Amino acid sequence: MKTAIIVMSDPKNGSEEALGRVFNALALASECKQKGDEVAVVFNGTGTRWPAELTKLSHPANALYNSVRDVVQGVSCGCVEVFGAKEGAESCGVPLKKDHALAGTAGLLSLRRYVSDGWNMMVF
pLDDT tens for each residue of 70-109: 999 999 999 999 999 999 999 999 999 999 999 988 899 9
CATH number 3.40.1260.10 is the correct assignment for the domain at 2-123:
yes
Q: Residue 76 has what pLDDT?
A: 97
CA distance 8 to 115: 17
- Model confidence at 69, in pLDDT bands (50, 70, 90)? very high
- Model confidence at 115, in pLDDT bands (50, 70, 90)? very high
Q: Residue 104 has what pLDDT?
A: 86
Domain ranges of the chain: 2-123
Question: Distances in Å between the alpha carbon of 63 and those of 1, 60, 66, 100, 105?
Answer: 25, 8, 5, 31, 33
Closest CA to 42 of 18, 22, 57: 22
Amino acid found at 54? L
Q: Is the pLDDT of residue 33 over 80?
A: yes
Task: Give pLDDT tens digits for 9-31.
Answer: 999 987 899 999 999 999 999 99
Q: What is the DSSP letter of 66?
A: H
Please name the residues in contact with 61: beta carbons below 8 A apart, sequence gap of 6 or more: 19, 22, 23, 26, 54
CA distance 102 to 78: 9
